[in-house]
Chains A and B, each alone.
Chain A
Amino acid sequence: MGIASEAVDHGRVVYARAYVRLKGLLREPHWSIAEVIIPMLSISAYIYMYEVLDAPNEFLGFVIIGGAMLSFWSNVLWGMSSQFYWEKETGMLELYMIAPISRMAVLIGMAMGGIINTTIRAISIILIGTFLFPIQFVIGDLSALIIIFVLTIVALYGMGILFASLFLLYGREATHMADLMQEPIYVLSGMYYPVLSSRFFPTAIKFIATAIPLTLGIDGLRQLVILGGDFSSVIPHMIGLAVLASVLVPFSYIALRKMENISKREGRLTLRWQ
């Protein structure tokens, strides 16, 4: 089989898996509504908290941007990382495994569909937040904004594919592990407050936090759309995110192959309820 036909096959797999995600958006619209309303509830609570504290207005925008990016993290955790576990529970995983397709293409398709869905939700959160609260966005440099966003998404979903591979080994603890990666990651990545510019975080913690693509992504986006930063103000963010993306994506590919082999050897692919 030539490279071109192989690429076409991979493309078809990516499209097929992304299609399921997009179709789901239309078939179960209440899920999409829930994924906008539910984060808006906690976002509103944190905005009110900042208002009680009499914090500067820019903090309200920080919360909205963090809340919008939280949608991507939730999608990475529940729509990517735990996905193979759920496929296993519903008896679909073995079908993926026996089909003559690339598992990486399945995960990329999953990510593509998830990115489109989640972008719509994130934009909805920003629009509703801007409507409900006195928040002003200032987009100084659109090209920098697009670069930061794309790099964040690539690194984030690279991490998602990596987790999906690792979760292939898990039984029912998969849900708990995904659950455990919610609040602690919110704390470290500065979902609702600035981390990298804050004096309350020691340098070592800031350094660890930058290993999570969300930290650099959220901070870069806040610089560009709230604090009026220009291209040069987010160059360190771009470098950091590019490094993360270039490490996470190939590493996720290696991890997927390794974990699949281990799962096959240990007979974990068809185990349910364990």
Chain B
Amino acid sequence: MAIANTAKVMAQGAWIGWKVESNWTDPFVFLAYMIAKPMASVLMIGLIFLIGSDAAGVMDQQFFFYAFTGAIFFIYPTTLAISLGYLMHEDRAKYEVLKQIYIAPESLKPYIFGRVIASSVNATVSVIAAFVTGTVIFSTFFGLDLGINVLEVNFPLLVGTILLGIIAFGFLGLLLCAINLVSFKLQHSLSEYTTGFLFLLSGVVFPVSVLPVVAQEVGYALPTTYFLNLVRSSLSGSGEFTFDLAYMILSTAGFAVMATILFKIAEQKARQKGMIDRKAEY
């Protein structure tokens, strides 16, 4: 009964998420938005590679594969962090529905995970669109080959990695919700800080080993680093992914426990201080 109820709330959360994120415009404009923004980010990385390599006089196609795939699959943590980093503020201050969601039985956490599902679907559309158009543009106009052989791609690993990533980034979103629940002015900067740090430290467009030693240690502790390593291993058909997979599972589990505990603490504090329905115009 409880599981059925949770699933129902999650489905409702996903449906609301889809509605809120898509109904500001007609489907064509929404699709263009979903494609244009991530596409531009990927184009920018490709152009930095091309222009930088041209100036250096060396064109390392393996590094292109590294940066291109990193930029594309980084769309997952970015999309989830941005939508969930704003969720508490949006529902509490903008639409003023957080208190209604909160007083409904077993609703807030399943609702948040419902929103995770909606954002993940959007992110998947963006990833596919950016991957296809990016590959076509860079191979057709600039002769850059990703070197991906479809027959060698480890699809089960790719799908499993994406699902694991969605769970990890969903809990990252829960953590951001916890922080926003007990704060009032961080909704814009929090997700930007999060995606900025992850972009710099997770080996998205350059290997973590390039960073200063202290930053490397942080980078090697982040699930995003292993998520991107696993995506690259699955696309290249590499068999050396056991360590990355083990660490990804372990860090996701650790992250889930930490986010759940912190959310619980934030929830209690928010109730004690009357923050669930406090409205602030920021």
Contacts and interface: CB of A to CB of B under 8 A. Distances in A.
Contacts of B38: 183
Given A173-B25, A184-B37, A193 B47 contact: yes
A256 B56 CA distance: 47
Interface residues of A, number: 42
B24 A176 contact: yes
A187 B192 contact: no
B193 A34 contact: yes
Interface stretch (B201-209, B247-255, B259-267): B201-209
A173 B281 contact: no
Contacts of A199: 54
Contacts of B185: 28, 30-31
A226 B211 CA distance: 25
Interface in A33-65: 34, 37-38, 41-42, 44-46, 48-56, 59
Interface string B202-224: 00111100110000000000000
Interface residues of B, number: 43
B189 A30 contact: yes
A193 B48 contact: yes
Contacts of A42: 196, 199-200
A200 B37 contact: no
Main secondary structure of the interface of A (DSSP, over half): helix
A119 interface: no
B40 interface: yes
Contact of B48 (A37, A50, A179): A50
A270 interface: no
B205 A180 contact: no
A45 B205 contact: yes
A171 interface: yes
Contacts of A194: 51
A182 B193 CA distance: 17
Contacts of B49: 49, 53
B55 A48 contact: no
A48 B51 contact: no
Contacts of A89: 94
A136 interface: no
Interface string A196-230: 00111000000000000000000000000000000
Interface of A: 28, 30-31, 34, 37-38, 41-42, 44-46, 48-56, 59, 89-90, 171-173, 176, 179-180, 182-184, 186-187, 191-194, 198-200, 273
Given A53-B63, A187-B44, A199-B54, 9 more contacts: A31-B185, A31-B189, A34-B193, A38-B196, A41-B200, A48-B211, A49-B52, A55-B56, A193-B52
Interface of B: 24-25, 33, 36-38, 40-41, 43-45, 47-56, 58, 60, 63, 67, 94-95, 142, 185, 189, 192-193, 196-197, 199-200, 204-207, 210-211, 281
